[in-house]
């Protein structure tokens, strides 16, 4: 029975892959003709692509095998690359590794579910669904953790930025200095400030570099921070004063959020108290009394 279900699963998978290949064959041919007819891209001889790791090459080999169903499994590469960039993974090979992981985990989960005897069919279904969703859940968790770290470190970074500017540094030099100092507490924010510095050295305008950081991080506070910097840059207002006021606003919001979480703690503790602690208290407090009442009633009936 187990071998029959495994063979049925593999057969269905191969049939679906064959149908997708047949339906997407014309689009593949058209894309290949467009690629051949297009002029070759101009590459600089001085630029040498960095070698990829063995894991990246293995992932690229796996994704090339399942290329017709790649879009159905992981979506577009642009969206995947953007989500990975939000989590701090910016190399092109990270897209291949994530896509290969999302393709392999359901297969591994199905193979593991085939060893569950009587509940094998349910284990295969649950394993396939869980294996398909786990990479997205892990990536979402990494994005949330990185954004939360940047959000917490931003007020302190702004304070350091104000101190550096009041000491006589310009906004660019102050950001470089803050990026070096804040690395111990928030590596993600330090990397973003370092990327801004590198983009400006490469010739990118300052306002565009700040806007790019807001898009890479995708945090409301960072977008507000960039908007404030853009306005002060355009209107010529003192940046140090604006940064100090913005830092105070962020600190106030952080305090209010902490107070909100503290106020919710009582409501969150209500359910564990009712479900776990109160029954134990009732057993300890009323158990001896109930036993005594039962003895009295039994003696009375005799």
- Decide if pLDDT at 232 tops 50: yes
Note the pLDDT of residue 73. Answer: 64
- Decide if pLDDT at 157 tops 70: yes
- Cα–Cα distance measured from residue 179 to residue 186, given in angstroms and rounded to the nearest whole number: 9
Kindly list the domain boundaries of the chain, sorted by start residue.
148-255
DSSP structure class, residue 170 = -
- Cα–Cα distance measured from residue 127 to residue 92, given in angstroms and rounded to the nearest whole number: 29
Note the pLDDT of residue 6. Answer: 56
Q: Which two tokens stand for residue 91?
A: 């190399």
Task: Work out the burial of residue 161: count CB atoms within 10 Å of its CB; fewer than 13 is exposed, 13-18 middle, 19 or more buried.
Answer: buried
Instruction: Report which of residues 232 and 28 the model is more confident about.
Output: 232
Let me know: does 150 contact 32? Beta carbons within 8 Å.
Answer: no
Tell me how far CA of residue 287 lies from CA of 256, 273, 274, 278, 297, in angstroms. 45, 19, 18, 13, 15
- Report percent pLDDT > 90 for the chain: 2
Phi first, then psi, for residue 126 (nearest 5°) are -65, -40
- Decide if pLDDT at 113 tops 70: yes
Helices 2-23 + 120-166 axis angle, to 10? 60
Q: What is the pTM of this model?
A: 0.66
Average pLDDT, the chain: 76
- Report percent pLDDT > 70 for the chain: 75
Instruction: Report which of residues 49 and 295 the model is more confident about.
Output: 295
Q: Which two tokens stand for residue 4?
A: 């029959």
Let me know: does 163 contact 173? Beta carbons within 8 Å.
Answer: no
Let me know: does 196 contact 161? Beta carbons within 8 Å.
Answer: no
- Cα–Cα distance measured from residue 244 to residue 155, given in angstroms and rounded to the nearest whole number: 9
Of the candidates 211, 20, 5, 199, the one whose C-alpha atom is nearest the C-alpha of residue 111 is: 5
Side-chain half-sphere exposure of 1, counting CA atoms within 13 A: 7
Note the pLDDT of residue 34. Answer: 45
- Decide if pLDDT at 58 tops 80: no
The Cβ of residue 270 has, within 10 Å, a number of other Cβ atoms equal to 10
Note the pLDDT of residue 47. Answer: 36
Q: Which two tokens stand for residue 111?
A: 């193979």
- Decide if pLDDT at 283 tops 80: yes
- Cα–Cα distance measured from residue 242 to residue 47, given in angstroms and rounded to the nearest whole number: 42
Chain-centroid distance, C-alpha 145: 7
Note the pLDDT of residue 141. Answer: 92
- Cα–Cα distance measured from residue 143 to residue 217, given in angstroms and rounded to the nearest whole number: 9
């Amino acid at each position: 029975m187990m071998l029959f279900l495994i063979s049925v699963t593999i057969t269905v998978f191969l049939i679906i892959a064959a149908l997708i290949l047949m339906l997407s064959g014309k689009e593949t041919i058209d894309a290949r003709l467009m690629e051949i007819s297009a002029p070759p891209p101009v590459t600089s001889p001085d630029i040498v692509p960095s070698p990829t790791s063995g894991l990246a090459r293995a992932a690229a080999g796996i994704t090339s095998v399942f290329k017709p169903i790649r879009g159905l499994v992981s979506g577009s590469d642009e969206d995947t690359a953007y989500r990975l960039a939000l989590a701090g993974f910016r190399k092109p090979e990270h897209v291949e590794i994530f896509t290969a992981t999302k393709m392999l985990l359901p297969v591994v989960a199905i193979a593991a579910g085939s060893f569950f005897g009587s509940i094998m069919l349910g284990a295969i279904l649950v394993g396939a669904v869980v294996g398909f969703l786990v990479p997205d859940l892990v990536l979402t968790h990494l994005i949330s953790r990185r954004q939360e770290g940047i959000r917490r470190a931003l007020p302190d970074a702004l304070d350091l930025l104000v101190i550096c500017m009041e000491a006589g540094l310009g906004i660019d030099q102050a950001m470089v200095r803050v990026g070096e100092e804040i690395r111990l507490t928030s590596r993600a924010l330090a990397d973003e400030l370092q990327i801004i510095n590198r983009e400006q050295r490469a010739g990118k305008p300052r306002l565009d570099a700040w806007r790019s950081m807001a898009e890479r991080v995708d945090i409301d506070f960072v977008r507000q921070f960039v908007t404030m910097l853009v306005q002060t840059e355009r209107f010529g207002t003192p940046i140090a004063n604006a940064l100090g006021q913005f830092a105070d606003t962020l600190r106030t919001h952080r305090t209010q959020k902490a107070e909100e979480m503290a106020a919710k703690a009582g409501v969150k503790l209500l359910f564990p108290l009712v479900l776990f602690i109160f029954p134990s208290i009732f057993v300890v407090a009323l158990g001896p009394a109930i036993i005594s009442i039962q003895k009295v009633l039994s003696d009375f009936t005799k």
